[in-house]
Amino acid sequence: MLCSCPKSTIEAFVKTVSGLAKRLAEILAQPLGVKPNYFEENCPPRTSYLRLNRYAPCPFPSQVFGLISHTDTDFLTIVHQDQVGGLEIFKDGRWLAVKPNPEALVVNIGDFFEALSNGAYKSIKHRVVSTQEVERLSVAYFYCPSYDAVVRNCGNEPSTYRQFTLREYKLQTQIDVQETGEKVGLSRFLL
């Protein structure tokens, strides 16, 4: 797994996964009427990032989450998890385990694709449950716009969310976490 790899391997992975993220975003955006060069213009490499997650074995797995329920602050996230398992998505009112497959990547829609698509694509709520026996490793690549790129509904329907930038969104999240203890997310930007 990537967490113990040399820097050159991580850099090579970022190069490949960033190309994949861009291509996937373009394909998903095509039916929405988004300009073909939207991601090229608005997502420079410096605001996207890779996170290496290590979840230590937990003596109280029923009481402590590896990662609490959240949506991702990006267009999309590409995740590679090891064989341990623990990632869950919230679908149709219940939590579903994402079966670990080290040969596969998991792609999550993030908050900004939901806004760009005016809700046609949903930013998926997810979490990681703990394991008592073994540690778990995962790698997540977050595909983001630049801080001042405007994210808005690209279709012709009346907008569900007001337009915003990553800078504004992060600032609002910071305020919400300080005041309420959690990220409120897109609902802050409902019209």
Catalytic annotation present for 136:
yes
Give the 3-state DSSP-derived string for 76-88, with helices as H, strands as E and coil as C. Answer: EEEEEECCCCCEE
Site string for ligand AKG, 24-63 (x = CB under 6 A): ---------------------------x-x----------
79 binds ligand AKG, rule: CB under 6 A? yes
Q: Is 22 in the site for ligand AKG (CB under 6 A)?
A: no
Rounded CA-CA distance 32/39 in Å is 13
Token pair belonging to 29 = 């955006």
The tokens for 141 are 């690549």
**Catalytically annotated residue among 46, 54, 94, 136:** 136
User: Contact between 74 and Fe ion (CB under 5 A)?
Assistant: no
- Output the CA angle 38-165-111, nearest 5 degrees: 80
Binding segment (CB under 5 A) for Fe ion, from list 46-54, 65-73, 86-94, 130-138:
65-73
The SS3 of residue 130 is: coil
Q: How far is the CB of 97 from ligand AKG (least distance, A)?
A: 11
* Catalytic (active-site) positions: 136
